[in-house]
Structure 1
Amino acid sequence: MKTALPFSLAIVFMSSAAWAQPSDADVEKYKSLTTEAAQTFEEGDFRKTIELLSEARVIHDHPDLSYNIGRSYEAMSWCNRARETFSIYVKRDDVPKKDRSAATERLESLKDCVEKRLLTVECDPANTTLLLNGETPLACATPTELTEGSYSVEASADGFLPSVYSVNINAFSDDISLQTKLAPAEIATVEEVVVPQDSSDWRPVTGWTLVGVGAGALVAGLVLDATSGVDSVEVGAVDQVNSDAESRRTAITALYIGGAVLGAAGAGILIWEMTDSQESASLSVRPDQVSFTYKF
């Protein structure tokens, strides 16, 4: 059974009668790709190995390339793809008998293979805390190997709304890259909202009515005061004149005082209403509370 990638693929390629003589550039590229693939395989970078060998197959589809692609899938526990690759390999006419037997043995051992994939979570914000299935901590931007199945990834951070993501791994999955982007915790804020006045508010009408009545009383007092001298000339008797003058003075005083009181009351009500028109409210919605602030 093979335990390492072949290093003589370029030589085999050059001597193959089934292919036309390659260009020098193709030969050099083929050598470079297979040599680097052997190195990445030994280093455990199987994904890179598959990438390099697949590129080499475009130049020449030597069976050893397919075999070692299958071995790379097997090493990553990409069981279904390993089985598919080895199944195609053993059916090739250009595969030596001993190599076909080795691949058949690998196919048999893959019956108990458990699918695995890498999960990598990119976090925004950077201080995001991750939990797998609510209990196992995960690190941002760090690949984590998971077996076939369904998972939940909980993402949370101070000042942000938490989120939960679903991850499903099966035989047809690729490695999974998940991007979390949490929304700020304060998702709705309304500041300094003027509270509209109720159209049924009695204060505007009452206030202006009192101001109007008070002003009318003051005007009446002024008119009566201005005409008091004329009226006194028309009265014949002195006593009667004095009596009428006293009555007028009382009426004028009452009009002045009443008008002033009514006007002041109306003005006070209007000031009260106008002060209330500056009322404002602030609403803040957070994941754990809803707060409402009322200003007046």
Structure 2
Amino acid sequence: MLLDDSELTVRQLQRNGGQRNQDLSGAGREPYEVMKGAFEQVAGTPPFVPFSESVLPALLALRKTHQTIAESRAYLISQGTSLDQTKRRLEIEQANLADQKLLQQSLEKRIQSLKDDAESRMELTPEQAAKERLDELRQKKKRYDRETSRLLKALRKFIDDHLAAQLAAEDLGGPVVGDMMEIDSDQLIAGFNAQGRPAKVKSKPDEDKRQRRLEEVWGLPQEDAGQKRGEADEAAAAGREMRELTEHLLNQLVEAGGDSAAAYVKLPKETAAARFLIRSKVAQFHPRDATKLKLIDFGRELDD
């Protein structure tokens, strides 16, 4: 009896469960059916396309073109600095490459020259090699002497043609060398005022006063100073002082033989010539005695 009741209960549950599953399956299909219907409706509807005379495609193309141009300009601006730096770097590297090529060529020529000399000397006796070396040194000395003479002539010409009048003007209280490039003889005769400006040129200058000034400034005897008139007097006196000073400095530098302390020259007074050499960085005063001057030994500085 108990078994029959249990079987009856199981059958009832099975019937109720099957009906519930049917109800659930039907309710779950409804959203999908709605979505399916919507998709089918959209798929069956023709898409929106502007009519043939519409300006919408042109506007869209214009907007896209404008956007592309703006982005391209922004990119070019951002890359401009990098491009300039790259160009400068390229120029520097090209210059370095050219220098290295020149250096390489010079070294190759020097190496070949040394090889040729070594090969030629291997065939010579010691006496012949010494004689050949002595001849080379003599030729170099002659070449150096010619170059020295040429440079000294050029220096004297520069002093006489360009520098002498300006040195004379500075010694007479006028502008320093280089501030007034054109100075004529009349201006040197007239002199300069206390402010360094050119004085008024007189039609008949006082020759006695002029000769005394020449003697005071450059220490010239009146009979020597009066040999020439005009620019030749003042300018020639300043030029002669400059030539004598440079020659004295050169001779003293050679006699010093590399001794820096012995290369100084004692100045009797400070002159425009000495100041010009100092400003040109050709000479220098003694660090503890402003009355001593020497030329800067450029060759020794390079050797050091």
TM-score (norm 2): 0.19
More helix by share: 2
